Structure 1
Amino acid sequence: MLNLTEKELIQNLAIGDSPAFTHVVEVYQERLLHFSFHYLNNREAARDVVQDVFAVIWENHEKFHKVKNLSSWLFTLTKNQCLKKIEHLKVAQKHLSSLRHKQLNLSQDSLSHLDTSPLIFNEIDSIFRQTLEKLSPQSRRIFEMSRFENKKNREIADELNISIKTVEACITKALKVLRPALKQYLPVVFF
């Protein structure tokens, strides 16, 4: 703990004295955190603000010779950093809201144009069955066990007496064949 008057502390800070800076951090850090948290209501953002305040102090220490009241100056710096952080958070929130709004519009547009008529489902079923027929019997059986019987890869491997890697490879192969065939119907196929 330094035994300096406030005026001496300010003079030491102005010349970039490391012990004086450490003393200021130790004395003011918690108070500035509480102050920042009160306005930001976010611990991480408050820590960022206080860290920024101390970075400004260290990087611009030569400006300390103009300071008359250390507490007032530190809280003014913290206030200004909080205002910057709030502006940043507002912009980020607006951007996220805008993205969410665009995503909802896309979903709405996609749903409004989605055809869920029985004719489409029959067409999907027909394409699906024709595409499955193009697979080897083993790949088709593994895919059906996985998707229609809801069996896990381990269960399929044990039942067919093959490795899990073979099961995974067959499912991957089946999906590679099915995706292009059902590309235009993917939103409906997902459900």
Structure 2
Amino acid sequence: MKLTQVHLDERELWDRLKSGDTNAFGQISTHYYRILFDYGRKFTKDRELIKDVIQDALLVLWQKRAHINPDENAKLYLLKIIRNSLFKELQKQHLRVADGQFDELEFMEPEESFIISAESSQQMNAKLQLHLKNLPKRQQEVLFLKFYQDLSNDQIAEVMNIHRQSVANLLHNGLRLLKNRFFLTTLYFILARC
């Protein structure tokens, strides 16, 4: 019931934005800023660049508000703008971006951590973060969008501009690698304590 209300509130804000309501624009900007900033940090450490890209994205949102599809999901729309804008900016700066892929970017580990209920959760969490950081960059991005932004596979495909099956494959392979690596680390940790 709560999820429906949140969805209705977002839909109402989106509709008000389209009609030129500056208060709705302010609420949308405030609500999504942190999400957009955290997503931007997955591609670059340059905080000022991320802030500039977000500011530009919000400006584009305001300028094109009348032409936005009313069924467009606000979060997805903004994530796509941020991803594409960062890609363009990073290309301009000649950072390690090649062939339209983010594979070579330094994809930083998520700030949040998986919740692990165990006595040694802090140590286990550190090991998990290390394993996450060592996954291929696109697997890291898909896992971030899936588990930290709660996006569906279709939504991730839309944000990353890839096929839904590619998302499923990246998720499957990423989780399989994490499971295998984490299992081996946990087993080693348990054996070392014996």
> TM-score with structure 1 length normalisation?
0.43
Which has the larger Rg?
1
